[in-house]
Structure 1
């Protein structure tokens, strides 16, 4: 699979089915098992797709009842615009505590899997997947289903709007060496079962990401100002005027 994870292809197909009326507003989606058979994917992949659809306000998950397609008015009512800074801040605060908790419960097998993600990143092998897997291993090590689902939701928010995707693309494909070093520090704290250091290392990781987002946003804003100034300069320059009357 390319950089675009498999579950996003399922999200696209379900959205098409919703838009063409196969799953009309107010109706219940087929059970997870049926969707997995229909799209020929695993049930965990369907679960990820449903989380993404919920974040996009396409469906509502009702515990014990099923997954229901939202009407447009319902979706508008539930919709809360978020940006990359808010997502990153929420992840920093939440995943800091996740790391602290995981430091007490993580197993040797999970530590070995964490190290494999570091090796993959160092070898530049599907860095995006390795990054995501790193964070997922840590939250799963907490053995807390609510924490696991919350982290999955926060990751889904990363791709919930084109603006957030664009902002993350500006920074996540850069400074891979720094990301590896930060992941290594988190790994070492978890290996030592040091809750304080695990929390701190995770905060350092996200603090650098937030600052990178600010730098990228500032650079983009300056570039836009320069572009507009160039347009104005071209419009009012003496050379332009003389050429137009020459």
Structure 2
């Protein structure tokens, strides 16, 4: 099954809800695994993860620890399938957009940034490094660091776009949920990766600044993938343990 168009995870989520409504997967049925769904829909596994999280948030499916994802018995009512689409962007799409926009913004900032603005970035990196990783102020300093770079471009439109992308982290329910899951998995701002960005800016090197920013944000994608992968692995691990217990019990019966 091939899904095309914008916001693929939304199209996958809509297709899955349609199949549930059609009885393809009845309430209580375990959904196929992530890899199988990705092959079925001809999309990436991160897209499947975003679709699964969206459906879980909306109540179409539930995660059973150590078992997998199951269709719920909830009466979703008229229009529920359409509601499954209304989650805006996910964390993967958001970070991909940030790689594009902030990568170019930092390159522009490298040729226009002032010494005062560099000093401000230096203070923000020090602030991030000084705080405990569980302190919410780390995220605030991270936010201000990236906005300060956008501001250093001297382009109000660029600053507005970067600010909008950051706002989506909390205003898009799916995105906020995915970052919350990552935080529970121990993922926090990558403080040390801000130093090469600052060094490239101080050297007024746009190519190095672009490369450092893209490397940093690709690391954010890696963290999100790892955090959501751990959830899937935990469910799979629990299922395997249950199977081992079942086999062990059957073998004990045969040995009596």
Q: Is the 8 A contact 1:171 1:209 kept in 2?
A: no
In the other structure, the counterpart of 2:221 is 210
Alignment of 1:53-72 (within 5 A): none
CA 1:171 to 1:193, structure 2 compared with 1: closer, same or farther past 3 Å? farther
Number of the residue aligned with 1:174: 187
TM norm structure 2: 0.56
CA shift for structure 1 position 154: 0.7
Contact 1:118–1:180 (CA under 8 A) maintained in structure 2: yes
Counterpart of 1:54? Answer: none
Cα distance, 1:95 vs structure 2: 0.3
TM-align CA RMSD: 2.9
Residue 196 of structure 2: which of 174, 179, 185 is its match?
A: 185
Cα deviation for residue 200 of structure 1 reads: 0.5
Structure 1 residue 185: Cα displacement: 0.4
Structure 2 residue 223 is the aligned partner of structure 1 residue 223:
no
The alpha carbon displacement at 1:92 in A equals 0.8
Instruction: Summarize the alignment of residues 102-117 of structure 1 with structure 2, pairs less than 5 Å apart.
Output: 102-117=109-124
Please state whether the residue corresponding to 1:174 is helix, strand or coil: coil
Is 1:118 equivalent to 2:128 in the alignment? no
Partners of 1:200 and 1:229 lie apart in 2 by 42
Counting only pairs closer than 5 Å after superposition, residues 1-246 of structure 1 correspond to structure 2 as 81-124=88-131, 126-171=137-182, 174=187, 179-229=190-240, 238=249
- Per the TM alignment, residue 109 of structure 1 is displaced from its structure 2 partner at its CA by 1.1
Gaps of 5+ in 2: 1-82
Q: How many residues align?
A: 165
SS in 1 for 2:187: coil
Structure 1 residue runs without a partner (length 5+): 1-75
Partner of 2:24: none
In 2, distance between residues paired with 1:79 and 1:213?
21
2:220, 2:178 → 1: CA distance? 11
| Rounded Cα–Cα distance in structure 1 between residues aligned with 2:156 and 2:97 | 18
